[in-house]
């Protein structure tokens, strides 16, 4: 069951079958620090096991959805689970794909890096008109191992995924919908209400039929994850220990 006492970086509210999960580091653009990374490994597991929940809305506090990984000087890249960061990264993707209940991303602002992965692996992504979406791992000196290189080819096709991931492109909301990474663009103030309405529509449908159909639809993504995620994450771990990432991180922290 979803229990707020387990989470310091995610706000949880369950109302009439809808779990609204809010990434909660607004002063940092909801960037994923070590604590949030560890909490994300169990967030979708708890939602899956919670009999109160028929659908999930995932959003961010403040002006951003999630600006990706926290690269501040205080981050040590340690975990609170006893797993390695790479093991946690795999769990985040796998447990999101294993959540049969529908997930709607209310992308209230920028969704970058891991934020873009969370948004695009949801079953629908309602994006604020002012938001941007993309994965700039390569520009940051790191292999795009935690989802985009492994899973976006299954969503977009290989050549479109190459354009976005290799080029470290950041899309406008309209471009993200046109490419197929998001579902619809709405005015900023309407994002949460629109996403919640979609979640309520799905939650009202027969649950076994809905959830079993989602399991079938997600097989392509789970197959892609099984083929490529371990390899991508191993290369990302190697890149994070290398000179390119160190140079980019040092430059960010000086700026």
Query: Containing domain of residue 231, as a range?
Result: 4-191+201-254
Percent of the chain exceeding pLDDT 70 equals 99
CATH number at residue 181: 3.90.226.10
State phi, psi for 107 to the nearest 5 degrees. -85, 85
Residue 134 domain flag: yes
pLDDT in tens, 28-85: 999 999 999 999 999 999 999 999 999 999 999 999 999 998 877 677 678 889 998 8
Domains in the chain, number: 1
Is 96 inside any structural domain? Answer: yes
In degrees to the nearest 10, what's the CA dihedral of 90, 235, 118, 98?
-30
Q: What gap in Å lies between CA 224 and CA 152, rounded to an integer?
A: 9
The answer as to whether 196 is a domain residue is: no
Verdict on whether the full-model pTM lies above 0.85: yes
- Which of 34, 251, 249, 245 is closest to 142 using CA atoms? 245
Collapsing DSSP to helix, strand or coil, 20 comes out as: strand
131-148 residue pLDDT tens: 999 999 999 999 999 899
Residue 20 domain-assigned (yes or no) = yes
Q: Is residue 215 part of a domain?
A: yes
83 within some domain: yes
Residue 247: its H or E element: helix 243-254
Residue 147 belongs to a domain? yes
The one-digit pLDDT tens for each residue of the chain (255 residues) are 999 999 999 999 999 999 999 999 999 999 999 999 999 999 999 999 999 999 999 999 999 999 998 877 677 678 889 998 889 999 999 999 999 999 999 999 999 999 999 999 999 999 999 999 999 999 999 999 989 999 999 999 999 999 999 999 999 999 999 999 999 999 999 999 999 999 999 999 999 999 999 999 999 999 999 999 999 999 999 998 999 988 987 887 776
How far apart are alpha carbons 115 and 60 in whole angstroms? Answer: 10
In a domain? residue 13: yes
């Amino acid at each position: 069951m979803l229990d707020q006492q387990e989470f310091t970086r995610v706000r949880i509210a369950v109302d009439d079958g809808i779990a609204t999960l809010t990434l909660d580091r607004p002063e940092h653009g909801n960037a994923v620090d070590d604590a949030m990374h560890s909490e994300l490994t169990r967030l979708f597991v708890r939602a899956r096991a919670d009999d109160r929940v028929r659908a999930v809305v995932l959003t961010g506090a403040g002006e951003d959805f999630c600006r990706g990984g926290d690269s501040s000087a205080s981050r040590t890249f340690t975990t609170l689970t006893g797993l390695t960061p790479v093991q946690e990264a795999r769990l985040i993707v796998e447990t999101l794909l294993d959540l049969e209940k529908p997930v709607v991303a209310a992308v209230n602002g920028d969704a970058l890096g891991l934020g873009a992965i969370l948004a695009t692996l949801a079953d629908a992504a309602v994006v604020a008109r002012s938001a941007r979406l993309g994965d700039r791992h390569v520009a940051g000196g790191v292999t795009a191992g935690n989802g985009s290189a492994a899973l976006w080819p299954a969503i977009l096709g290989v050549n479109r995924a190459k354009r976005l991931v290799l080029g470290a492109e950041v899309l406008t909301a309209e471009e993200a919908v046109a490419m197929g990474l998001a579902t619809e663009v709405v005015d900023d103030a309407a994002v949460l209400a629109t996403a919640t309405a979609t979640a309520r529509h799905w939650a009202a449908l027969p649950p076994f039929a809905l959830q079993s159909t989602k399991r079938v639809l997600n097989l392509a993504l789970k197959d892609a994850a099984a083929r490529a995620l371990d390899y991508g994450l191993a290369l990302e771990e190697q890149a994070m220990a290398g000179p390119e990432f160190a140079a980019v991180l040092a430059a960010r922290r000086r700026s």
